[in-house]
């Protein structure tokens, strides 16, 4: 199909707001509900006392991005009825602005949790199980309310928002890299690189190729480290302790190498506006190469053993199943989506040459674990290629101030959880009018709620680990 009346743009390109088509709501609705394309973002920006609703549409097949807008009042016909994938966007808009999507089937709060009434059952055979928001150990706060018959989960509601920090408002008023690093601590590189690229685009700063390559190496190292840890955590939840221990130690090899690059195991301090703070010299390049080979050997041997073990397979296969159809309907992203056969990956939008996503496709816990294994192998090969391309001198451009007025910059990157999108909108004076963050967890928490249906409640921990979603990245 051909998309009409939209503005086609590139990842990290500054758009003039005046060039974005303003559609009649009926046209806008047809655009958003066209299932040939994916809704990557849907948000409100209040301009000149009007509620301007923007839709960012991703054509994943042709690796193209489009944007259009419409004006809505205090109420509009819900788009969720025709496109379930936008249900979270509409709920967030209602919570933040009071603009009601009339007819929305599940207009529960996104981050506000006071006084919320969970779904109940009058069936005497059903019972509720409440978990959290305070959990044992160091897990972040989140409330899970299970509606069960015996041990079988019939329904799960996930209530977040317990650590809402006002990050978007803080970045609007005081945009800085240190705050961006803290949006979600296990995605330091993902969020800080997106922030830096957005600010650079709006100020017209050019980043040298070497710095761009180091950023991408760090992003893939972050992906490898978390994926290795996640497979180990899944193994720990099913008491396959050999893999849990071996992979836990192996993850340390990756993050300790990040420590050698930046002084932080999680990459804090690596990013800066205009490039990176630390170079990768020939000695460090050799260390990274040797680390990758050792990690690849360990992960391959351990995963080959783990994924051929009958006991492991009996716990992981057909557990927490999310079909391709369901994952597509609710708009899942990242490795969780690819594990269900929905092959979306925003590395296709210009960041990498000749990139082809990998997909496990089964949609169960096994697939989400195996998807991580495939991506570890892929990231290792990508890093080795990028190390070979690491030529030229690391240059630091002059820091520029002042943003392009009446502009909008949408920056995407594929974090280890999936698609990260930061939107920066400026007013006529060049001041930041809105800073909007979308962590991949925003799409995928509902996928976890669907995954556990008709499973035993004892399977929830391993289902949860197989998604490994961010609480603070969602709460913002």
Percent of the chain whose predicted confidence (pLDDT) is above 90: 86
What are 340's two structure tokens? 């269900």
- pLDDT tens for residues 94-115? 999 999 999 999 898 899 877 7
Which residues are CB-contacts of 191 (< 8 A; sequence separation ≥ 6)?
A: 180, 181, 183, 184, 415, 420, 422, 437, 439, 473
3-state SS class at 131: strand
CB atoms within 10 A of CB 337: 30
CA atoms lying within 13 Å on the CB side of residue 445:
23
Asked if residue 370 has pLDDT above 60, the reply is yes
Q: Is 99 left (phi over 0), alpha (psi -120 to 50) or beta?
A: beta
Q: How far apart are CA 303 and CA 236, in angstroms?
A: 13
Which neighbouring-strand residues pair with 41?
A: 56
Q: Report the mean per-residue pLDDT for the chain.
A: 94
Q: Please give the pLDDT value at position 102.
A: 97
Q: How far is CA 293 from the centre of its chain?
A: 28
Domains assigned to the chain: 7-102 (3.30.460.80), 168-437 (1.10.645.10)
- Segment 16-37 shows an average pLDDT of 94
Which neighbouring-strand residues pair with 431?
A: none
- Nearest-CA neighbor of 288 among 227, 193, 372, 379? 379
Per DSSP, 348 falls in state G
* Lowest-confidence segment of 23-27, 124-128, 385-389 by average pLDDT: 124-128
pLDDT confidence band for 87 (50 / 70 / 90): very high
Q: How far apart are CA 87 and CA 436, in angstroms?
A: 17
- pLDDT tens for residues 188-227? 999 999 999 999 999 999 999 999 999 999 999 999 999 9
Backbone φ and ψ of 108, nearest 5°: -90, 160
Strand boundaries in 332-470, DSSP class E: 407-414, 419-426, 432-438
Are 78 and 101 a contacting pair, CB within 8 Å? yes
Which neighbouring-strand residues pair with 423?
A: 410, 436
Percent of the chain whose predicted confidence (pLDDT) is above 70: 99
Residues in the chain: 476
What are 402's two structure tokens? 């002042």
Asked if residue 282 has pLDDT above 90, the reply is yes
- Nearest-CA neighbor of 465 among 476, 23, 451, 252? 451
CA atoms lying within 13 Å on the CB side of residue 348:
18
Regarding pTM above 0.75, the answer is yes
Which residues are CB-contacts of 211 (< 8 A; sequence separation ≥ 6)?
A: 274, 275, 276, 394, 395
CA pseudo-torsion sign 303, 305, 310, 311: negative
- Segment 292-298 shows an average pLDDT of 98
Q: Please give the pLDDT value at position 86.
A: 97
Q: Please give the pLDDT value at position 85.
A: 96
Strand-pair category, 64-72 with 7-9: antiparallel
Q: Please give the pLDDT value at position 387.
A: 96
What are 135's two structure tokens? 């959990």
- pLDDT tens for residues 391-405? 889 998 888 888 999
Are 448 and 337 a contacting pair, CB within 8 Å? no
Helices (H), 389-427: none
Which neighbouring-strand residues pair with 51?
A: 46, 72
What are 454's two structure tokens? 């008709």
Asked if residue 1 has pLDDT above 90, the reply is no
What per-residue string of b and e applies to 51-75 under the rule 16 or more CB within 10 Å gives b? Answer: bbbbbbbbbbeeebbbbbbbebeee
pLDDT confidence band for 462 (50 / 70 / 90): very high
* Lowest-confidence segment of 99-108, 116-125, 167-176, 437-446 by average pLDDT: 116-125
């Amino acid at each position: 199909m051909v998309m009409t009346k939209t503005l086609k743009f590139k990842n990290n390109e500054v758009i003039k707001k005046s060039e974005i088509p303003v559609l009649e709501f009926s046209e806008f609705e047809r655009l958003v509900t066209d299932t040939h394309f994916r809704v990557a973002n849907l948000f409100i920006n209040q301009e000149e006392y009007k509620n301007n609703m923007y839709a960012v549409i991703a054509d994943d097949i042709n690796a193209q991005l489009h944007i259009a807008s419409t004006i809505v009042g205090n109420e509009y016909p819900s788009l969720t009825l025709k496109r379930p994938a936008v249900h979270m966007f509409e709920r967030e808009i209602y919570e933040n602005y009071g603009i009601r999507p009339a007819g929305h089937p599940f207009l529960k709060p996104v981050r506000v949790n006071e006084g919320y009434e969970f779904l109940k059952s009058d069936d005497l055979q059903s019972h509720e199980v409440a978990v959290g928001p305070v959990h044992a150990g160091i897990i972040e706060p989140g409330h899970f309310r299970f509606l069960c018959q015996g041990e079988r989960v019939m329904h799960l509601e996930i209530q977040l928002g317990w650590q809402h920090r006002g990050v978007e408002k803080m970045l609007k008023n005081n945009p800085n890299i240190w705050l961006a690093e803290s949006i979600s601590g296990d995605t330091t590189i993902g969020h800080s690189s997106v922030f830096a690229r957005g600010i650079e685009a709006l100020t017209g700063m050019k980043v040298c190729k070497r710095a761009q390559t180091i950023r991408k190496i760090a992003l893939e190292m972050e992906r490898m480290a978390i994926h290795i840890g996640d497979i180990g955590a899944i193994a720990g939840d099913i008491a396959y302790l050999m893999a849990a221990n071996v992979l836990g130690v192996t993850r340390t090899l990756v993050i300790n190498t990040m420590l050698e690059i930046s002084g932080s195991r999680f990459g804090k301090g690596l990013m800066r506006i205009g490039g990176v703070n630390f170079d990768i010299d020939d000695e460090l390049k050799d260390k990274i190469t040797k680390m990758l080979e050792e990690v690849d050997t360990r992960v391959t041997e351990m995963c080959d053993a783990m994924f051929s073990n009958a006991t492991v397979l009996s716990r992981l296969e057909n557990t927490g199943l999310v079909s391709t159809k369901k994952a597509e309907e609710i708009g899942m992203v990242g490795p969780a989506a690819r594990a269900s056969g929905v092959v979306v990956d925003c590395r296709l939008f210009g960041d990498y040459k000749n990139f082809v996503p990998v997909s496990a496709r089964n949609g169960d816990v096994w697939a989400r674990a195996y998807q991580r294994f495939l991506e570890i192998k892929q990231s290792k090969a990508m890093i080795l290629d990028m190390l070979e391309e690491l030529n030229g001198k690391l240059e630091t451009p002059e820091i520029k101030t002042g943003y392009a007025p009446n502009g909008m910059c949408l920056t995407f990157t594929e974090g280890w959880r999936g698609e990260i999108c930061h939107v920066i909108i400026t007013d006529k004076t060049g001041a930041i009018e809105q800073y909007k963050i979308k962590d991949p967890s925003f799409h995928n928490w509902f996928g976890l709620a669907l995954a556990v249906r008709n499973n035993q409640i004892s399977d929830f921990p391993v289902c949860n680990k197989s998604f490994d979603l961010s609480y603070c990245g969602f709460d913002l």
